[in-house]
Structure 1
Amino acid sequence: MMYFFRIVFPVLLIIAGIPASAQIVNVESRRIQTDTTGWAGSFGGNINLSKNVDQVFSASAFAHLQYKNSKNLYLFLGDYSFLKGAQKKYTDNTFFHLRYNHKFSNLIRWEVFTQLQTNKITKIENRFLAGMGPRFKLSGSGMLQVYLGVLFMYEYERELVDPPVSHHNVRNSSYLAFTLKPTSNLEIISTTFYQPRLDHLGDFRILNQESANLAITQKLSATINWNYLYDHFPVAGIPKSNYTFSTGFRYAF
């Protein structure tokens, strides 16, 4: 299996025309639900500078591009965030995510994904993953949709420590996702990920993400997001658990 993920899988990505690239990312909250084919996407960002006791500068940006037809879905995500105050960086991270989804039936899809992440605050110089696996649609009613993903991935991680430390792992990356639409302008998404190492099940990550999107206009939405991550073996000096809460706006096209 290690040979497959290190040698064969990158070749398959090249053949498929998908550039090979793990922060856990909630793809469910980024999928644009539409019955039409073609291109769709969204983008947003902010810059803030304030000064009272100390000067604080922050910036963030995201881009989302999606192409969909009757059987295939291509999804690209990019994010950047930065916060600095009192001569100290509190946040400085980027990641890029590319995913391909092929529909075999109303029940089963097949997903292939790749991702690249850097996060100096959590001492991750770079983290690269590539993986694939089945995605099952457990419920598809108009108000509630439930999906189960059972994926496997190869992960390379280089820690920002002295001396540098690198890891090569194969992990399971399963998730359970709920999308609830109680009204026509409100969407609530809940996703829980579980990522254990296959050769050491005690080394695992759990992520829970909750998102709510309230449509203001046909293209503009207000968003609320909650992320909680537990990493049983983080980089030395980094806490095992962390969380983020954010609000903002999203413009879709």
Structure 2
Amino acid sequence: MKSPLLPVLLFLLAPCLLQRLPGQIVNIEDRRSSPADTNRLSLQVDLAFNLVQNTKTVLNLGTAARFDWQHGKGTLLLLPNFQFVRVDEQRFVNRGFLHLRHTWKSAGAAAPEVFSQFQFDEQVRIQQRELAGAGLRLRLLDDGQSRAFLGAAYMFEYNEIRDTSLIYRDHRLSSYLAFRWQPAEPLALSGTVYFQPLWKDFGDFRLSSQLRLLLHISSRLDFKVSFALVQDSRLKRDAPGVPAATYSLQNGLRWTF
């Protein structure tokens, strides 16, 4: 018999999973701000809270923020994110991350950048992940209506697998291809593909593909639809209870101030 709670869960999960797919790679590209000629500070916050009581108690929390500081030498980006979904005493989602990145201005097509990140995700057994890296971001196209970038970086990663004694210390290539196309003023389409293999074994990799459609309703309110697909070759080997490939379809509203 079909559970009466299922429609409620689907309704709650769609808008509340604000920025993240259940997976391994945090997409930074669609959260970068456009370069500015003067110093500028900006803050963007997404919040969600839902509580439903019927035959079960459903609690859904979500928060995501973006802080940008554009200064004379480049851009500093800070991204905190947390998501939690619980039905009675069972946790369906419990994950979060904190990402910090600095990109320097460059007169040419290539710009250097450094980054660091802390992450946890209970459902895919990430007890604790810490990473840091540095690389180059190459501008392929930027004509006002369309943009495309290619990035490559060295990344060191410390990874603890939940409910096991496994700890990984890996050296990875972090590469991506990102684009944004805005055919009309209120509409924008963006996408990013990440490929993160081990330097010593390209057969051990993480792959992520994400696509997002953004519709500007007003100067402060946006509607967004996102689709994402993630594959991690290590999950199948080390976490057999977790699928190696996952996908997500999300929609929601964003308020900017």
TM range (shorter): 0.7 to 0.9
Structure 1 match to 2:121? 119
Q: How does the TM-score come out when normalised to structure 2? A: 0.85
How big is each residue's C-alpha offset from its partner over 1:161-198, in whole Å with a ceiling of 9 and x where there is no partner?
24x21000000010000111111121211000000001
Q: Distance in 1 between matches of 2:106 and 2:157?
A: 27
Residue 186 of structure 1: aligned partner: 187
Q: Residues 82-101 of structure 1 correspond to what in structure 2 (within 5 A)?
A: 82-101=84-103
Any idea what the Cα deviations from partners look like across 1:133-156, whole Å, max 9, x if unmatched?
010000011111000001110000
Identical columns (%): 30
**Where does residue 53 of structure 2 map in the other structure?**
51
Select between 139-148 and 53-62 the one with higher mean Cα deviation.
53-62
TM-score by length of 1: 0.87
Aligned mate of 1:138, from 140, 164, 167: 140
SS of the equivalent of 1:121 reads helix
Structure 2 gaps of 5+ residues are: 1-22
Is 1:72 matched with 2:111?
Answer: no
State whether structure 2 residue 251 is matched by structure 1 residue 232.
Answer: no
* Structure number with higher relative contact order (C-alpha < 8 Å, ≥ 6 residues apart): 2
Which residue is 1:154 aligned to? 156
Answer whether contact 1:32 1:41 (CA < 8 A) is retained: no
Counterpart residue number, 1:25: 26
Deviating above 4 A after TM superposition, structure 1's stretches of 4 or more consecutive aligned residues are none
Structure 1 position 105, deviation (Å): 2.0
> Does residue 245 of the first structure (1) align with residue 249 of the second (2)?
yes
Once the 2 structures are TM-superposed, how far is the Cα of residue 123 of structure 1 from its aligned partner? 1.0
CA contact (8 A) 1:95 1:116 kept: yes
Structure 1 Cα separation of the partners of residues 126 and 71 of structure 2: 36
Cα deviation, residue 217, structure 1? 1.5
Structure 1 gaps of 5+ residues are 1-21
**Equivalent residue, structure 2, for 1:198:** 199
Verify the 8 A CA contact 2:103 2:111 in the aligned structure 1: yes
Post-superposition Cα deviations, 1:44-71, rounded to whole Å, max 9, x if no partner, equal: 1111112343221111000100011354
